[in-house]
Amino acid sequence: MIPFGDIKNINKRHARDLRTVFERVLESGWYILGKEVQSFEQEFAHYCGAAHAIGVSNGLDALHLILRAWHIGAGDEVIVPSNTYIATWLAVTYAGATPVPVEPEEGSCNIDPDRIEAAITPRTRAIIAVHLYGQPADMDPIMAIAAKHNLKVIEDAAQAHGALYKGRKVGSLGHAAGFSFYPGKNLGALGDGGAVTTNDQDLAQKVRVLANYGSQQKYHNEVQGFNCRLDELQAAFLRVKLPTLDVETERRREIAARYQAAFQDTPLVLPTVKAGVEPVWHLYVVRSPKRDVLQQRLTEQGVGTMIHYPIPPHLQPAYADLGHQRGDFPIAERIHQQVLSLPMGPTMEEAQVTAVIEAVKAVYR
């Protein structure tokens, strides 16, 4: 059986160092907002080429806190991709604002900059661009539209740690970015974790205060905040894993390149990589009108696959109150019906990649 992903083996490679830092944190007697978080924030900001990083509890909270810090809430609209993981939308509704979906480009599956302006109203305050599957969204036109309409741009970089857009790292491209360190993400903790990155010092300070009960000085509360902190222990684990992220990304790129070459002569629609971007292949996602049959055949051959994602946010019962109907966002709906994610990860061996390729080819023989 070739697993879809292999988090256990990714972390096993770091077992000795993870145990060492566990001891270090245990012995320190200091478990919240200490040296590990502070150091990780510096290291991660440097990695992203951003001036500031703030460790937070998870990716959803990272996005939510950015919106809160800008006082985006009830009565405001935020443009989101129609094709994304639901957490992007949840951040908006959590803040009390309304998500306004915009359809993706067929090729990259990322938000289509050419469709954004039609969705802007006097209530629009921000655009959330998601770097879906690890490929950066087309940020230059998005930033230009935002500048023209005086909007904030948030990158949802939960799937794209280290991805490059025109030579610049995600997390430094918009006005702020939210990252997730959920165990299955490219940089994963041993539990939940997240970060906000930004070059805006004022925003950084506000997010930091909001994430810690709205307080800068213990028991002095300036604003009604939240408890959305990153643990010392998770920060210490992330510090162990960050230095090898680029090596792991290289391995993901090799696997993606092998898949791309091998599947050229199949009927599958392969991922399109736009000029000027270097994805980090959080997921390798193919498309087929007969997706369910393909998945079934691969399962029979012992190849683990997943669907990211089976139901678009606008058709989830959770968002019935927004009143969207089937057919409202046909590109996203078609993508959700056709996508299949193949095994991908830095611990995959050549023989496993070959086996996946053979299994896919067998379906079309």
Ligand X SMILES: *Cc1c(COP(=O)(O)O)cnc(C)c1O
Residue 129 near ligand X by CB under 6 A: no
- Interacting stretch for ligand X, rule CB under 6 A, among 36-44, 52-60, 197-205, 351-359? 52-60
Min dist CB 141 to ligand X, Å, is: 20
Residue nearer to ligand X on the CB measure, 233 or 359: 233
Tell me whether residue 70 is exposed, middle or buried, using C-beta atoms within 10 angstroms of its C-beta: 0 to 12, 13 to 18, 19 or more. buried
Q: Which has the closest alpha carbon to 287: 82, 106, 86, 80?
A: 106
Residue 59 near ligand X by CB under 6 A: yes
C-alpha distance from residue 76 to each of 63, 122, 215, 313 (Å): 15, 9, 26, 19
Residue 40 near ligand X by CB under 6 A: no
Residue 116 near ligand X by CB under 6 A: no
Q: Which has the closest alpha carbon to 63: 239, 207, 224, 230?
A: 207
Residue 190 contacts residue 238 (beta carbons within 8 Å) = no
Residues pairing with 92 in the sheet: none
Q: Mark residues 198-237: x for contact with ligand X by CB under 6 A, - for none.
A: ----------------------------------------
Residue 182 near ligand X by CB under 6 A: yes
- Interacting stretch for ligand X, rule CB under 6 A, among 99-107, 139-147, 155-163, 314-322? 155-163
- Subset of 255-314 contacting ligand X (CB under 6 A): none
Q: Which of 11, 135, 180, 234 binds ligand X (CB under 6 A)?
A: 180
Residue nearer to ligand X on the CB measure, 103 or 156: 156
Residue 159 near ligand X by CB under 6 A: yes
Q: Which of 47, 85, 263, 319 binds ligand X (CB under 6 A)?
A: 85
Min dist CB 156 to ligand X, Å, is: 5
Q: Which of 41, 77, 155, 156 binds ligand X (CB under 6 A)?
A: 156
Residue 341 near ligand X by CB under 6 A: no
Min dist CB 216 to ligand X, Å, is: 25
Q: Which of 53, 54, 60, 256 binds ligand X (CB under 6 A)?
A: 60
Q: Per-residue b/e over 293-307, b at no fewer than 16 CB within 10 Å?
A: ebbebbeebebbbbb
Tally DSSP H helices, then E strands, for the chain. Answer: 12, 14
Residue type, 350: E
Q: Which has the closest alpha carbon to 95: 174, 170, 152?
A: 152
Residue 58 near ligand X by CB under 6 A: yes
Which residues have CB under 8 Å from 89's CB, separation 6+?
Answer: 80, 99, 313, 319
Structure tokens at 79: 């443009």
Cis peptide before 309 (omega within 30 of 0): yes
Q: Which residues bind ligand X (CB under 6 A)?
A: 58-60, 84-85, 87-88, 130, 156, 158-159, 180, 182, 192, 194
